Amino acid sequence: MNSDTMKSGVQRAPQRSLLKATGLADNQIKKPIIGIVNSFNEVVPGHVHLNRIARAVKDGVLMAGGTPMEFNTIAVCDGLAMGHTGMKYSLVSREIIADSVECMVRAHCFDGLVFIPSCDKVVPGMLMAAARLNLPSIFISGGPMLSLNSDDGRAMDLNSVFEAVGACSVGKMDEERLGYYEDNACPGCGSCSGMFTANSMNCLCEAIGIALPGNGTIPAVYAHRERLAKQAGERIMGLVNEGVTALDILNERSIRNALTVDMALGCSTNSVLHLAAVCSEAGVEFDLKTVNEISERTPNLCRLVPAGPHHMQDLFAAGGVQAVMKELSKADLLDTTVPVAAGGTLGQLLEKAAVKNNEVIRPIETPHSKTGGLAILFGNLAPNGAVVKRSAVAENMLVHKGKARVFNSEDEASEAIFSGRIQKGDVVVIRYEGPAGGPGMREMLASTSAIAGMGLDKDVALITDGRFSGATRGAAIGHISPEAALGGPIAFIREGDTISINIPEYKLELEISKAELELRKQQIPLKTAAPQTGCLKKYQASVTGADRGAVLTTVVSSDDDYY
């Protein structure tokens, strides 16, 4: 056992003494020691209940003959951090989570790991750690929040509140009605209830095969969630005994499966960023062009909020992620020979899966669209790519030309949006919010939700080198690479320039000549980044571009081929 390094032999008596100081008996020390990686805290609604999940996992480990030992990671709530300086720390936390898990696991020689994430950056941070450590590993999330209907019969979620703020700001809603949404849109624990980033990544853990069926969709408050946690605790012991490690499951074939499921579900744009980062840790080549290749052949089967009316509880009732994969397998769109943490192959796991509601999960023959939910755009504005959730874009905005309204920060753009200075047909440009330029690559949910709440989402596009929440809808194009701070073309857009968006053809263009663009590069100085301290300083100095997953490098050089 890996833990023998720490606990076996005469020379390890001091270590066994310390283990006994935690209350472990000799018989417990002799068994496989399973690390329970818990992201519980009392700040984030997606994490407030994770001690209950951890208790169930530990029960499962004990039932299967192992010794569970729990430790914690941090978890940032993107919703709470949205719209202020706190959002600079969200993406940064992904790297800190991966590093902190590595430190604990390498220092304490666990035999296997059960990861308990829930919200946005925690899932990919833990996936990165799992790939880096390559021990037997399994994931069990805290589950999605329920969505309840408002008094007018419409289902609510966090984005309902953000959009209500936009409506209130232009007089379409009074503050009393805004207060109603504030009080009722988020009814309890769990990750926010649409196909936002957290739920996207938890569903993709199922698609990869590193989580058990139901991981992405069983609501947080259901007892079924605790039973699944116990099953995960039992199953980690099976993986340890079988010698199946994380990279046996998390590999090139399973990542392609995940991207295929991503397209069928219509996941968050952040999923591309995070899968690229996970691939970096797993030693799997990741090319943004592959996303479009998979999207071209993968139909979009689900329209969950913000792309449509359904929430995670609806997807669960319709058969969940497994049912979506069953539909995809009918067209041979998945590699069903890959091993899964549940045991056996994906094909064997899908034998019992079935679609129970053809409105929530469309048949493969009659999808919402013949292409997937995400698209990567290229052009002179995004030589290295940009990403859009096309399933959440209105039909009339799939092809759009508009005049650029240029802002050098999200704060400037938000002020203009809320003061009514954005008009129909405009293309809002928010730059210097990329991984290095922000630093931290902030999400723009406050801005995009305000546009939607004002009723402009079918008339106004927004492009940025920053990110969007999975809750964003409309022609919102993010992750523009290279970013402005590194001299990307977005830095040289001028107010009033014409920007051309063609999502079906995967194009994003600034309508000026190549000669004019080169002249502007000489004339327009780049904005100097504000001095940073602490983790933001270290992050800014070593982060790569969004097209590479915004992962960290040891050294960043101006003559690196990337630049």
- 377 near 411, Cβ under 8 Å? no
Judging by beta carbons within 10 Å of its beta carbon (0-12, 13-18, 19+), is residue 171 exposed, middle or buried? exposed
Residue 189's pLDDT is what?
98
The H-assigned helical ranges of 306-409 are 312-317, 320-330, 346-349
Q: Is residue 415 part of a domain?
A: yes
**Phi/psi at 339 (5° precision):** -75, 150
Judgement on whether residues 68 and 165 belong to the same structural domain of the protein? no
Residue with tokens 């018989």: 27
The H-assigned helical ranges of 12-120 are 13-21, 26-30, 50-63, 78-81, 90-108
Judgement on whether residues 195 and 67 belong to the same structural domain of the protein? yes
Q: Is residue 269 part of a domain?
A: yes
93 is catalytic: no
The residue annotated as part of the active site, out of 254, 329, 469, 481, is: 469
Residues 307, 316: Cα–Cα separation, whole Å? 17
- 507 near 482, Cβ under 8 Å? no
For residue 191, the cross-strand partners are 144
Q: What CATH code is carried by the domain that includes residue 513? A: 3.50.30.80
Judgement on whether residues 172 and 113 belong to the same structural domain of the protein? no
List of residues 6+ apart from 517 with CB closer than 8 A: 380, 489, 492, 510
Residues 261, 550: Cα–Cα separation, whole Å? 23
Vertex 366 angle, CA 365 and 369, to 5°: 115
Q: Is residue 551 part of a domain?
A: no
Q: Is residue 349 part of a domain?
A: no
Q: What CATH code is carried by the domain that includes residue 62? A: 3.40.50.2300
Q: Is residue 324 part of a domain?
A: no
Judgement on whether residues 166 and 133 belong to the same structural domain of the protein? no
* 56: amino acid identity, one letter: A
Half-sphere exposure of 19 (CA within 13 A, CB side): 25
Radius of gyration, alpha carbons of the chain: 23
Judgement on whether residues 170 and 100 belong to the same structural domain of the protein? no
Residues 397, 395: Cα–Cα separation, whole Å? 5
174 is in an annotated binding site: no
* DSSP for 465-531, written as a single string: SSB--TT--SSEEEEEES-GGGT-GGGG--TT-EEEEETTTTEEEE-S-HHHHHHHHHHSPPPPPPP
Residues 184, 171: Cα–Cα separation, whole Å? 21
Judgement on whether residues 123 and 163 belong to the same structural domain of the protein? no
120 is in an annotated binding site: yes
Judgement on whether residues 178 and 265 belong to the same structural domain of the protein? no
Q: Is residue 492 part of a domain?
A: yes
Q: Both tokens of residue 219?
A: 């609501």
403 is in an annotated binding site: no
Residues 254, 361: Cα–Cα separation, whole Å? 22
Q: Is residue 481 part of a domain?
A: yes
Residue 557's pLDDT is what?
45
Residue 368's pLDDT is what?
97
Last residue of a domain, one of 508, 523, 538: 523
Judgement on whether residues 175 and 142 belong to the same structural domain of the protein? no
Q: Which domain holds residue 517?
A: 375-523
Q: Considering its fold, how many domains does the chain have in total?
A: 3
Residue 471's pLDDT is what?
83
Q: Residue 25 gets which letter from DSSP?
A: -
- 422 near 403, Cβ under 8 Å? no
- 209 near 249, Cβ under 8 Å? yes
Half-sphere exposure of 211 (CA within 13 A, CB side): 32
Residue 556's pLDDT is what?
41
Residue 554's pLDDT is what?
62
Judgement on whether residues 177 and 195 belong to the same structural domain of the protein? no
- 450 near 411, Cβ under 8 Å? no
Judgement on whether residues 163 and 119 belong to the same structural domain of the protein? no
Residue 170's pLDDT is what?
87
Cα torsion through 432, 434, 437, 439, rounded to 10: 130
Q: Mean pLDDT by 10-residue block, N- to C-terminus, for the chain (563 residues)?
A: 96 98 98 98 98 98 98 97 94 98 98 97 98 98 97 94 91 96 97 97 98 98 98 98 98 98 97 98 96 98 96 98 98 98 98 97 98 97 97 96 97 93 96 96 89 91 94 93 98 98 98 97 93 95 96 61 38
